[in-house]
Structure 1
Amino acid sequence: MTVRKQYTKEFKLDAISLVLDQGCTATEVSRNLEINASMLRRWIREYQQDDAGQAFRGNGKLTLEQEEIRKLKIRIKRLEMEKRILKEATVFFAKETK
């Protein structure tokens, strides 16, 4: 099984810059950097389609919406746990009063 190589955001942006700013072809750049030409073309397409500067965020770097969802899920878990504790306490004190 081959290990998938990961490239940094800076590496991707430098490769894109060679194509878009320096006027090199994607084939030339991919050959010189020893990466697949179709992968470089995909990076360029993602970079050009990106409006909010979110291209190449990397692992663990969430968009604002994803971060909000993550925080809300954590809050939901906490509230559900508190609700469960309160139910158990209610049952416990109901038995104590009898």
Structure 2
Amino acid sequence: MGARRKFSAEYKREAVAMLDAPGVTVSQIAADLGIGANVLGRWRRELRRQPQQAFVGNGRSRDEELSHLRRELARVTKERDFLREAAAFFAKAST
């Protein structure tokens, strides 16, 4: 059995929006997207029940992840600069 696929909230909303087109069925859209019809139906029910809170997920927010990545980038940049200066110092000392 393969790993469980995860879909973004935006993807889920767009998939549910496709159901509003005239003459389409849940099974047709699900087959086009490569997901189960029951999954698409569950997404639609969840979106109808709580449109503002649908698909909240368990992961970190984008802002939190972005700030974490910026801190990590700053740390790595400092390390790189330090190593560059150390390499230049030792190269100068050996000549």
Aligning the two structures, in what range does the TM-score lie when normalised by the shorter sequence? 0.5 to 0.7
What are the within-5 Å matches in structure 2 for residues 1-98 of structure 1?
1-19=1-19, 21-23=20-22, 24-50=24-50, 53-60=52-59
CA deviations over 1:36-80 (Å, ceiling 9, x no partner): 0000000001011115x0000122369xxxxxxxxxxxxxxxxxx
Misfit runs of 4+, over 3 Å: none
**Structure 1 unaligned spans of 5+:** 63-98
Q: How many residues align?
A: 60
Q: Please, what TM-score do these two structures have when normalized by structure 2?
A: 0.57
Q: CA deviation at 1:22?
A: 1.4
Q: Please, what TM-score do these two structures have when normalized by structure 1?
A: 0.55
1:68 aligns with none
Identity of aligned residues (%): 35
Q: Secondary structure at the match of 1:55?
A: coil
- Whole-Å Cα distance in 2 between the matches of residues 5 and 60 of structure 1? 14
**CA RMSD between the two structures:** 1.8
